[in-house]
């Protein structure tokens, strides 16, 4: 039997519901809720409507990526005060939990949520964890991560000053590209991370990140070298560091892309000693 809630507890629960809703964590509302609790919250029309509406965090039938596969990026949520970014990200991490929402959970050692400053002005988005990331639970810590660190350093920043996340949070077997169903299932969490951090500049590393951020698939060559408007931020698309390790000749092109990001951020390269 559910116990009756006092007014303070009810207000606290209502506030928590609003907080989740503002983050876009709509799945929270789909969990089984005690009917007695529902009845009490229904006394507050706004919360009652939220509880009984049917927002969907994950689509029952994920669209199949080819070009039509990519889900439209969700709408931007209201800005979250900078002081609350870390807590808001932790709520998203808690919501992911020990996730089994897609098949990638079967082969993972550690789920890779993100790394960096919750209030960063610059955010990088990659594809998914590799072997080193899967072992350590952090994004971009292998060879490609070392290159990314160097790229960040060349921009005059430290890794701790940026925020780094991936389209999928579990390692695809053999480092393959995430299947559409996997990307569509996991990327809503990425969008929520972006909406919390709200960087001024977002850099998509590689075609997979660009595809899910833009909601459409296009050749990388046609997307690089310019600024895309994205949810009130500037999106710049460049090569994935793993690709640059395979073809170092493209580093120059990637650096040109990063210089666009630097210009947007008002950064100058560190002077050589
Ligand atoms: Fe869950 Fe994302 Fe991992 Fe799939 S990749 S199991 S959706 S955390």
- Reported as a single tens digit per residue, the pLDDT across 56-85 is 222 333 333 444 455 666 666 667 888 899
Q: Report whether residue 211 contacts ligand 1, using a CB cutoff of 6 Å.
A: no
Give the residue range(s) of CATH 3.40.470.10 domains in the chain: 54-265
Q: Report whether residue 151 contacts ligand 1, using a CB cutoff of 6 Å.
A: no
**How many residues does the structure list for the chain?**
273
Q: Report whether residue 254 contacts ligand 1, using a CB cutoff of 6 Å.
A: no
What pLDDT does residue 13 have? 54
Q: Report whether residue 92 contacts ligand 1, using a CB cutoff of 6 Å.
A: no
What pLDDT does residue 92 have? 97
Among the residue ranges 48-62, 79-93, 200-214, 237-251, the one predicted with the least confidence is 48-62
Q: Which residues contact 3 (CB under 8 A, 6 or more apart)?
A: none
Question: If one looks up domain 54-265 in CATH, what number appears?
Answer: 3.40.470.10
Residue with tokens 């969907």: 56
CB 17 within 8 A of CB 50: yes
Distance, CA of 146 to CA of 240 (rounded, Å): 12
* Position 222 pLDDT exceeds 70: yes
Distance, CA of 91 to CA of 239 (rounded, Å): 31
- Which pLDDT tens digit goes with each residue over 118-143? 999 999 999 999 999 999 999 999 99
For residue 169, the CA-to-ligand 1 centroid distance in Å is 6
């Amino acid at each position: 039997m559910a116990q009756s809630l006092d007014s303070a507890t009810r207000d606290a629960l209502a506030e928590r519901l609003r907080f989740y809703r503002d983050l876009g964590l709509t799945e929270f509302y789909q969990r089984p809720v005690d009917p007695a609790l529902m009845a009490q919250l229904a006394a507050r029309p706004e919360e009652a409507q939220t509880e009984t509406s049917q927002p969907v965090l994950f689509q029952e039938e994920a669209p199949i990526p080819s070009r039509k596969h990519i889900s439209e990026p969700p709408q931007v949520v209201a800005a979250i005060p900078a002081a609350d970014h870390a807590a808001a990200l932790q709520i998203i991490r808690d919501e992911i939990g020990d996730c089994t929402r897609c098949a990638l959970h079967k082969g993972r050692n550690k789920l890779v949520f993100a790394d960096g400053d919750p209030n960063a002005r610059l955010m990088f988005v990659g594809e998914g964890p590799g072997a080193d990331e899967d072992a350590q639970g952090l994004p971009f810590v292998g060879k490609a991560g070392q290159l990314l660190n160097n790229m960040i350093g060349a921009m005059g920043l430290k890794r701790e000053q940026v925020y780094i996340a991936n389209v999928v949070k579990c390692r695809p077997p053999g480092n393959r590209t995430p299947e559409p169903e996997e990307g569509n299932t996991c990327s809503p969490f990425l969008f929520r991370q972006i909406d919390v951090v709200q960087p001024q500049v977002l850099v998509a590393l590689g075609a997979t990140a660009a595809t899910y951020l833009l909601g459409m698939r296009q050749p990388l060559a046609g997307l690089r070298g310019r600024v895309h408007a994205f949810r009130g931020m500037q999106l710049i698309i460049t090569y994935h560091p793993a690709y640059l390790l395979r073809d170092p000749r493209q580093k120059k092109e990637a650096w040109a892309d990063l210089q666009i990001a630097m210009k947007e951020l008002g950064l100058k390269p560190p002077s050589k000693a």
